[in-house]
Amino acid sequence: MTNDDLIRTVELTRIYGSGETAIRALDGVNLLVGSGEFLAIMGPSGCGKSTLLNMIGALDQPTSGEVWVAGENLSALRSVDEFRAQTVGFIFQLHNLLPTLTARENVEVPMQGQGIGASERKRRALELLEMVGLGQRADHLPNQLSGGQRQRVAVARALANAPLLILADEPTGSLDSQSGEEIMELLGELNRQQGTTIVVVTHDRRVAQATQRIVRMRDGRIVEDHRLLDAMEEDLRTLARSKLGHAILTDGDLPLRQITPEEEKVLRRVLERIDGAGDQAMDDSGKKVTPATGRYSK
Ligand code: ADP
Ligand code: MG
C-alpha cells in the first residue's frame, strides 16, 4: 500500500450463515483504490457489491481478510463511529432522509456529535445545499421534493463532514434517467474539484461509464478491472460482451469488412486484454461469453 492508496482489501471474505446453507458473499477480494479515484463496481444482483461496499464503510465485518482505509485497518479501529462519521459519506439507493426533518436539518445530522456549533452546522448545511443546487429548498421536507432532489440532499448529507471517501450504493437506482445523469454529474464534479474518492455500485452501464474505472464482480470475486480511457475501446468492449459482438467475433468474415482498420486494431487490443485477464467475460445479463480470439485472428 503506497501513500496514495485510500482503500485496500486483502483476501476479503464474508460468509453469511454456516454449514450447508452458508453463502460466500465475498470470496477473497483484493481491491486497491487510489486516493482521488472515481470508480464503479458492477455485476449481477447478488454478486456481493453491497457487501463489499459495506465492508469498506465499516458497516459490516469480514469473516476473514482485511480492509484498510486511509491507512487504518478497519478491524483495529479505535472508534468505528468516528471512522464512519469523519472518513466516509454514504449515499444509498433510497435516499433514507428523515421524513420529519427539513433538507437542511437532514444535512446537519452527520455533523451532530462532531463538536460543531449549531450556527456553524446550519451555515455549512446551507452551503452544501447551495452546492448541490438546492439552496432554495433548504426548508422543504423530503416529501416536498422530487426523487432527484431528495438524492441531491443525500449527496449534500454525505459531504457534511468533508469525507475523504464517498460510498454510493445504486445511487441512481430509484431515479429516472435524467435525474440519474445529474447525480452522476454532481459526483463527477465533486471528484474533480475536491478530489473526493468515490466508489459507486451500479448495474447500469451508462452510470458506470460516467466514472474512470469499472470493477466487475461475479460470485463474490472480482473478474474484471479496467480504466476507462478511450471511448472507442469502451464501445468495443461492450460490443465484445454482447450477443451481436459474440456472433461477429466467432463468425468472422462478413462483419469484419464493416469495421475500420482503426476499430479493428482497438478490437484486437480489447480481445487480447479480455483473454489475458484469464477470466471469462460476461454479457450484461451475467451469462458467460467465451472470447473467440482464436477464430478472429487472421
Ligand atoms: P449485490 O449488492 O451485488 O446484489 P449483496 O452484497 O447484497 O449483493 O449480496 C451478496 C450475497 O450475500 C447474496 O447471495 C445475498 O443473498 C447474500 N446476503 C447479503 N446480505 C445477507 C445477510 N444479511 N444474510 C444472509 N445473506 C446475505
Ligand atoms: Mg446491492
- pLDDT at residue 294, as a whole number: 34
Q: How remote is the CA of residue 25 from the centroid of ligand 1, in Å? A: 6
Residue having the nearest C-alpha atom to atom 6 of ligand 1? 48
Domain ranges of the chain: 5-218, 230-296
- pLDDT at residue 289, as a whole number: 45
Q: What is the pLDDT of residues 260-286, one digit of tens each?
A: 777 777 778 877 776 655 444 444 454
Model confidence at 250, pLDDT cuts 50, 70, 90, reads low
Average pLDDT value for residue range 97-107: 96
Q: How remote is the CA of residue 9 from the centroid of ligand 2, in Å? A: 18
Q: Can you tell me which atom of ligand 1 is nearest the CA of 43? A: 3
Is 202 a residue whose pLDDT tops 50? Answer: yes
- 23 CB under 6 A from ligand 1? yes
Q: How remote is the CA of residue 55 from the centroid of ligand 1, in Å? A: 12
Inter-residue contact 125 to 104 (CB < 8 Å): yes
Q: What is the pLDDT of residues 284-293, one digit of tens each?
A: 454 444 444 3
Q: How remote is the CA of residue 84 from the centroid of ligand 2, in Å? A: 19
- pLDDT at residue 166, as a whole number: 96
Report the chain's mean pLDDT, rounded to a whole number: 85
- 16 CB under 6 A from ligand 1? yes
pTM listed for this prediction: 0.79
State what percent of residues in the chain have pLDDT above 90. 58
Model confidence at 297, pLDDT cuts 50, 70, 90, reads very low
Q: Which ligand is nearest to the CA of 173?
A: 2
Pocket test residue of 9, 41, 51 for ligand 1, highest count of atoms within 8 A of CB: 51
- CATH 3.40.50.300 correct for 5-218: yes
Is 236 a residue whose pLDDT tops 80? Answer: no
- 246 CB under 6 A from ligand 1? no
Average pLDDT value for residue range 9-30: 95
- 29 CB under 6 A from ligand 1? no
Model confidence at 241, pLDDT cuts 50, 70, 90, reads confident
Q: How remote is the CA of residue 127 from the centroid of ligand 2, in Å? A: 31
Is 222 a residue whose pLDDT tops 60? Answer: yes
